[in-house]
Structure 1
Amino acid sequence: MNISVIGCGYLGAVHAACMADLGHDVVGVDVDPGRVAQLAAGEPPFHEPGFAEVLRRALDSGRLSFTTDVSRVAGAEIHFVAVGTPQQQGSYAADLTYVDDAVTSLLPHLAPIDGRPAVVVGKSTVPVGTAERLAERLGDAAVLVWNPEFLREGFAVQDTVAPDRLVYGLPVDETAAAAARDALDGVYASMLERGTPRLTADYASAELVKVAANSFLATKISFINAMAEMCEFTGADVTFLAEAIGHDDRIGKKFLRAGVGFGGGCLPKDIRAFMARAGELGAAQSLTFLREVDSINLRRRQHVVNLTVHALQGRVPGKPVAVLGAAFKPHSDDVRDSPALDVASRLAGLGADVRIVDPAAGPVLRRLRPDLGVVDTVEEAVAGAHAVLLLTEWPEFVGLDPAVVGTGVAARTVIDGRNVLDPASWRAAGWTYVGLGRP
């Protein structure tokens, strides 16, 4: 099928490349000439395992191209809108400027193909009610379907080509709904043939699926972090607690690891936008619990700072502190709302000599935060350090040999902000091990 993808950031670029790799003819459109040039040259503008290979393969096939000229979408049967919806400045609400601009840019180029209406597919995460409003703007020019994405950074290629479910938000009109469903089925034919569940619903339900899922995950993470706080007051071990309750299949073990909390470009801004939208709808009380979820998450960062200050006996200025990790999660270079970066910034603000190392986010951090000390190796980060903080659970950090790391530090104190290290082996190597919610 002939497809256009409007917005070639993280979501759009991965979607465009994967769709072309599946055999579709795809044109990706973005307003950033630099990003378009990078993608067209086969150079990923972000770190994502497996994406570079898919991008190059799709470009080499001739089925994928990138442009800043939106008129090149003419002739496409389906147009995916995959632009960002960041948090508004000074508000919890989502900024829909890019979504509205994308639809406005598409309108002059929408036309029936072989007697079938053009189909516009929304993939951006938006407040409930947005799809209905956009469908009215499109009018008779195209049929709108809302198809939320469920990508995990670090697994985006896998989640695009082999999702655990496909959700279609369809219009009320049965004829229009059938046209949109059939068109999207054509795009995802290989996935449907493998048995991927396809769930169809109205616009509002499809919009709510994404924010409800993210809110549930955020709540689960903040719950175990709240239990970690209780464990620190009682002397209990949150890792044992998580294991024990995780055996209950109604609860499950995933997302039950206490630590410095969640971050990134999705969970924090999505739960805040959800709260803002609930307030606009007069349903604020339904989501008041998310305020505490957000509060628990944010105070975990200050807790790690407090633990570090205590480890330094209150003498922070000038003390070298090694921070292992800058990205909000491993296998990504995304530092948006990163707990690791937040902790490092707060310690730097207290006068600590912070040295940060991250396998992927180093170049990004050097560009965005030239005021922070970014180094290339763990050895450089820990040299002379009075405290070592593990804040992003990259495998190369989790697998460090505590005896080897200990040869370069000034004081053997490690703060495990992700509860992923083995306390016994680190203590056996002479380290003072500090976990979160662990005795």
Structure 2
Amino acid sequence: MKKIETYLHKKILVLGLAKSGVTAASLLHKLGAFVTVNDKKPLSENPAAQGLLEQGIKVICGEHPIELLDEGFELIVKNPGIPYTNPMIEGAFEKGIPVITEVELAYQIAEAPFVGITGTNGKTTTTTLVFEMLKKGNKQPLIAGNIGTVASGVAETATKDNAIVIELSSFQLMGIETFNPKIAIITNLYDAHLDYHGTRKNYFEAKSNITKNQTDDEYLIINADQEETFDIARNSKATIVPFSTKKQVLNGADIRNGWICFDGERVMEIKDIALPGTHNLENILSAMAASKLSGVENTAIQEVLRTFTGVRHRLQFVEEINGIKVYNDSKATNILATVKALTAFDTPIVLLAGGLDRGNEFDELIPYFKNVKALITFGETAPKLERVAREAGIKNIKRVDNVEKAVPEAYRYSESGDIILLSPACASWDQYISFEIRGDIFIEAVHKLK
């Protein structure tokens, strides 16, 4: 960790805890700052805040009192989930108090270079692939951000011999000032989180922050099949490295005659890759590009791609039972993610779908239902999904109470050679506190079948 004096004797407010807030508060305390932590959860129900209190850090819990901003803070480190419309944040800007997220803090203390991954879909799979490829290539990577340990915690222990591979959300990227990854990846861009950002323009601008401090000594890996990522690349000073599943590109990653290639060099035949799905080829190409730019040999990349079958809850292979392959794609919390899952297979599918009703319809799924032989629905959106299934000509439709009950029903409609696929197209919050819990229950029910 760099021994910086930037925060020595500075008054800093850490707003919102969770894991990133706790780590940031502890780190700032070590760096000599006068830290105040403010979290909405009452102290009696807040063990994290209690632990910080024991370290000698000032803690204010139970509310976000706006008058707290009158105490002369020189910086606010904000939990990424707190929107910029929050009165505390709006008040801070009115007073001229800078607001950052914990990722910026991590960058300032890190001795190791960063490989940063952002985008709408595929971030976690790409981050995991980059990490595994760098590890197999003996590059001593550490994994951080949304997928791993809190970034500033990782940065504390990282040395110049490591590389920090970090998944970055738009929320985190809105709060950076100097953060500058050696290699940045933008997997793709679609409309998302508009309830937080307000407009797609704001959302895309937040994503573009990943490259705002890059120079031509750094690399920006972009999806060459999307105009939106090219728009960001045009305003970047980084060396641009494109990837494409649809065309050949110069100085980048693409597909040629059934091979994945980098800069025209064949790296591996697609038929030998374990991870299914056309959309995963995008993730593979971008991860391969980052790994090649990091000096990883082809043999290490090949070894990872022969064995990597997916991240938990993201088109994750679970089990094969009597010739029926079962996949858990609980992370598919929107229609686009389910479309990508459905197009990953060309064999008959028994689809499990449903969840929180956000007011949208599901007609966009109809063209992708051609391989769906049966639909098992659950949750608030069950009637809507059943309507589009009928319009698509699916005859086998069954509604059940929850994911656990959906599994034996799906098996009943399946036969050898079929795919059972949990890809809900909806958030989980009508029945489960997270998509992870939903996916875990699905996996457990599958194992009970066996």
Q: Structure 2 length normalisation: TM-score?
A: 0.36
Q: Which has the higher helix share?
A: 1
With CA pairs under 8 Å and 6+ residues apart, which has the higher RCO, 1 or 2? 1
Which structure carries more strand by proportion?
2
